Every structure is written in C-alpha cells, then in structure tokens.
Structure 1
C-alpha cells in the first residue's frame, strides 16, 4: 500500500510546485484602487475635457495622499470653464488664500500696465532716486533686470540661518516699516544683468516704483490708495476678481512679492487671463506682447521670465527644477508661492490648475508629480 502510493504523492507534489512557479511567473494581481467617494466624483464637472473618473481620482489623490502635505483648495479650468473644484474641510469658495510669492506675477502685470501706458521704460535705468546719485553703480540697474531677478543687488532670499535671509530682514525685522527703502539701500554684489538671484526684495522694489509713478506723494495713505485704485480699475475690476485684498507696509508700498489674498477661483481667473495672453472676454487688459515677455526665458535663467516660473529644461537636468519639463509642454508656466501654492498654466492644453495648501519641501516634490498626473490627462491641442 505504501509503495503503491508514492507515485501519487510525488505527482501531487510536482503539481503543487509547478502551480506555485507559474503563479510566481505571472505575478500577483494588482490591488484594485478604492472606490471613488461621492465627494471625489462631485468635484468634477460632467464634461471636464478628460476622462471624468480618472480626473476625479487624480484630484482626490491631491487631498488624500499624506505624502503630498495638506491640500486646501483645487480649481481646474479647461478652455475657460471650471472642470473641477474641491476644498478641504474648513475652506470653501469664499475663502481668501494668501498668495505668498504668487503675488510676484501680479506685480509683473502691474508693471506691464504702466509700461503700456508709457509711464515706465524697460531698458532705461530703474527710477529709484537714491540709485541716480553721481557715481552710484546701481544706476545701471534697469527695469528689465529687476523683472528678471538679475539686478545684482545683495539680496539673499533664504539660507540655513533665517537671520541672514534678506526676505526675513525686510518683512519682519529691520525693513518691515519701509520694505522698499531697506531693499533699495542694499549694495551690489554682482554687475547688473550678470546673475540670476531670486529675491522677494526685488519685487518690493518694483512695487515701490509703481507707487512712485502713480502717486507724487510720499504720504503712505496716498500711495496705498493710488496703487489700490489702479489695480482695481485696470486689472482686478475688469477680470471680475472681487475677492482680492492686497497688503501694504507702513510706508504705503504694496508687499508685491508675497502678500495678496484672493479666493481659489480668483487665482484661477488670473491664471486663465495669462493663458489667454492678457485677454479676458474679448478685452485686451494688458498687451499680448507683455505676457509673451513674461513667459520668455531670461538670459541668465531658462526657468524664469518676468516674475514668472517657466517649464523650460535646465542645462544640468531636472534636479531642483521648480516644475516638471519632462512631463508637460515647455510652454507651461506658473505662479509659485511658499509652502506649495501653485497656479499652473498650460496654453497648449488650455488648462489652468490651482492648488493651494501647505506642503514642506519633500512633500512639494511629490506634489509636483501628482499635479503632472492631472495635467497629463489632457492632450496638447495648441493655443
């Protein structure tokens, strides 16, 4: 009995071994993604211009993936219409979100309006009175240099010690009452035009220049009122951006590098206006050529234009790039703010994607790739 049973036992063992091996070759079945929640599906319009469920899942990931940080608001516009909109608990369509450095792009448009009015010149010395004294080498700084972050001024945006940051000194310490005055006092550390150095101080200088053009008074209230009225009548009003609240320092200078507040929808509206090269509902608010200049690479930084980030590749690869050249058209450009504020604008895909929230540096790397996942759902269709 025992001897006769051995072939059967061996056969069973062989079959088991083969089955196990075949299973290992074929691989285990991939885990099914969890079902989409009603909240995830309802955030996407019925005709978003991309597969609806796939889009809902990618946007849902922005809110539920812990490695991306805290997403508080997402608005996606496709072809000028809202394709998706979602908010985290405690936030809604009426919440004003701080811009942080997204404000820099708004300041660039403010300067563009004044250039189109004939009140400023791009390649003439920047009209900062203390730079025009005889023998002052800062007299070589032009408006173009400031817009492209290559003024040569000794401005250090950040570093291992916050006390050495020019931005911290200007916003919170020595310069907080007269931010532009403090920024303008700094000496040169490089020849104007020779080196790119990202700097919030530089943008506040641009805001001060705008205030000097719009108001002949040094009175803070008059400066504040002049800039507010101009922005409202020439930019925010025509765009229907009714939620915008800009902040000013004690000297009446717009804190144009970091402190403008608006709803997610209004940030999306501003981005879409730039996607349309300065046009909104048939009205050319800022010249088309100015938006083209804003999105043209600087001679010293292919990833930067006029106070605007560009999706252009760097010579040394993509490491440290603020966007994702390998995953979206090079015509994509962006407004980027501290801790993960993004307005991503892709003219070729007719898209404007707003993501607002709070993410640290490692989380922002993952967040960018997730934003690219959303954008890749849309084919490039030309401008």
Structure 2
C-alpha cells in the first residue's frame, strides 16, 4: 500500500457516513403552549396538535393581522375556540358585510311566506313611475348585486364612495332612499357590482313587506321581531343586536353584532341547508341553494354570499382557489369570515382586523385549517 493510498483511506474514515450527507433536517417546531392546546377539543375531528398549531399561528404571527376570535365547528360539534386578550365568548363582534348574508335569509323567508317574488320587478315605488328605466330591476338582480345602479363601494378619496356617503354623509338619515335615488350606470342584470347600498335597499324592501307603517319605531320593531322569532331564537343566537338608521331601516349591509359562537351558529344553519340543530326548517333548502348558486354576472357570488369559485372568497385573482368548490362564506370588512364547507361538514369563524396584505396571508391559514378535514 502506498503512502497516498493509506492517507486517502484514513481521510475517508474521518468523514460522516453518506446517509447523513445533505442539508440538515428542519428544526422541530417549538412546543405548543397550554393556551394553544386547550383551544382544541379532544374530539375535534382532526389531529389535535396539528389543529392547535394552525390556530395558534393565527394569534401569534404578526403578518396575519390581529385575530380576535376563532370558532370551529365540525359535524355540528364545537371543535376549537380561542380568543385574544380582551375578548371572550360573550364579546359581540361587528359583522361588517357578513350582515349581507343575514339580509339574504330575511328576504328568503319573505319569499317563502309569499310576500315577495324574486323574479318580479323590485317593489320600489319610485322606480315604477312611467319611463323610469329602473323599473327593469328585479329582486333577483338586487340579491345578486347586478342592479346596474350607480353604487361605487370604494372611492378615492373615501367620501366619494357610495357606501360612505350613504352611511355617514348625505344619506345617513334615510339610507334606503339615498340608495334608491341613484341612477343606472348599466343595464339591469348585465354586470356585477358589489354594493352595501344594494343590501340596504333589500332591507327596506323587507321592512315594507312586514309593515305598511312609515313610522321608524314600527319598522324597527317589525324587522326585529320577525328575525328574532323566525331565525335568531330558533338558532339560539341570543346575542344578536341589529342597527337601524333614523328612518327605521335595518343597516342590513354592514351593522349587526353577535358573539363568535352565534356567528358560528348562523354558519351551521346555512351548512345544514336552512335547518336548526333540532331539524326545524327555518328557510327552504332551495333558498340556500339559490344563495350558493353563481349568478349570470359573476361565478363567485350568489345571493349576498361569496362562493369558492374564481377566487371569490379571497377576492383576488392572483391567489389560486383552495378547498371544495361547494365552500361558501359570509365575509366582512378587514377580515371577518364565516367559512362554510358542507362537504367537509365544518364551519370556521375568524373575527379580527387584517389589512389587504395581511388578509390574504391570514386566509391561507384558514384554508390550512380547513384542509385538515377530509371531504365526505
């Protein structure tokens, strides 16, 4: 054996085995806190530690914004629940635009009662005057956000927004009237335009279907009692508080308040096709089907409800769709979500505050949670 050969053998003996070559394995994740583990029920329907870690990230990763509440239902049972400091199961959270989906249920109940018909011209007297082109707007057009009215949801500067003007400026005392007075900018039915003004018109139509009185107190009472008796009480949504304008019109596009648990109860009601947990059919299942069917003007929107198609739930075409196509959602400003997935038998509520960039990252985390549950 030459000296060179002996040196190579000795050097090789000092090298680590081939099996250990390559990049080091990723570091183990940090242990979960007691708070993270206690947020997940023992029988959550998904791996407990994995679910706890995914939920924990929503509360601990600053780039996702501020998560204030998470409630997850699986197969009708509470699977996970967690709150950030200062919030708990008794805190009422503002709906923002999640309210729109509640307003759609109100209209559905009145249709089932025979008081309204979605194919008819919307019962707005000022539109029925001879020669008014708004007479072509149907109730279905309003439900699907394709009325053609000049309603610009976001403005630059903000006071140019139809929503801001209606809620806080010249329309605030009689919001429905202000919204109904706007002219057409497109043929009714032709194009989708998301609009809180449109939902307030629907809320006004609902009030006038329930009472002929123009007295604000009578209008508030009629809508409050109807929704309480027909929807909130049967679902056990005892925390729900509704806001009205000075004319007694429900601010049905943005201002309802309820606990995270009650928002989850509403999501479960939708997941069950309009039934309560006890099996009472509160609105026909065909109405829930209509709410979750794409409109002719937008594949991602039904009746006041976002669909998991064409990036509808995340509202950004650059983000690929995830989750079952049958998933749908009630969505509110700054990251309020009630995600409903009938195929996975889950409802996931996230309430908090995330800006646009944070919201897209946060939503990816919500889908990570949802994907722990198989379709059935």
Aligned to 2:257: 261
Secondary structure at 1:118 match in 2: coil
Distance in 2 between the 1:275 and 1:171 partners? 31
Secondary structure at 1:283 match in 2: coil
Aligned to 1:119: 115
Shift >4 Å, 4+ stretches: 5-16, 18-23, 321-324
Distance in 1 between the 2:24 and 2:233 partners? 58
TM norm structure 1:
0.93
Residue 84 of structure 2 corresponds to residue 88 of structure 1: yes
Distance in 2 between the 1:319 and 1:336 partners? 10
Structure 1 contact 324–368 (Cα < 8 Å) conserved: no
Residue from 299, 310, 315 that aligns with 2:307: 310
Secondary structure at 1:256 match in 2: coil
Over aligned residues, Cα RMSD in angstroms?
Answer: 2.1
Residue 373 of structure 2 corresponds to residue 378 of structure 1: yes
Aligned to 1:193: 189
Residue 289 of structure 2 corresponds to residue 292 of structure 1: yes
Distance in 1 between the 2:109 and 2:233 partners? 14
Residue 127 of structure 2 corresponds to residue 131 of structure 1: yes
Q: Deviations over 1:287-346 (max 9, x none)?
A: 00000000000111111000000001369xx87159862x20000000000000000000
Residue 365 of structure 2 corresponds to residue 353 of structure 1: no
Q: CA deviation at 1:238?
A: 1.0
State how many pairs are aligned: 373
Measured at CA, do residues 133 and 15 of structure 1 come closer, stay the same or move farther in structure 2, by a change above 3 Å?
Answer: farther
Aligned to 2:205: 209
Q: Deviations over 1:33-85 (max 9, x none)?
A: 11000111111111000111111111111111111100000000001110000
Secondary structure at 1:83 match in 2: strand
Q: Deviations over 1:22-43 (max 9, x none)?
A: 97x5101201111000111111
Distance in 1 between the 2:318 and 2:159 partners? 24
Distance in 1 between the 2:40 and 2:120 partners? 48
Q: Deviations over 1:221-278 (max 9, x none)?
A: 1111111011111111111110000000001000000000000000000000000000
Distance in 1 between the 2:201 and 2:53 partners? 43
Structure 1 contact 166–201 (Cα < 8 Å) conserved: yes
Aligned to 1:369: 364
Structure 1 contact 180–208 (Cα < 8 Å) conserved: yes
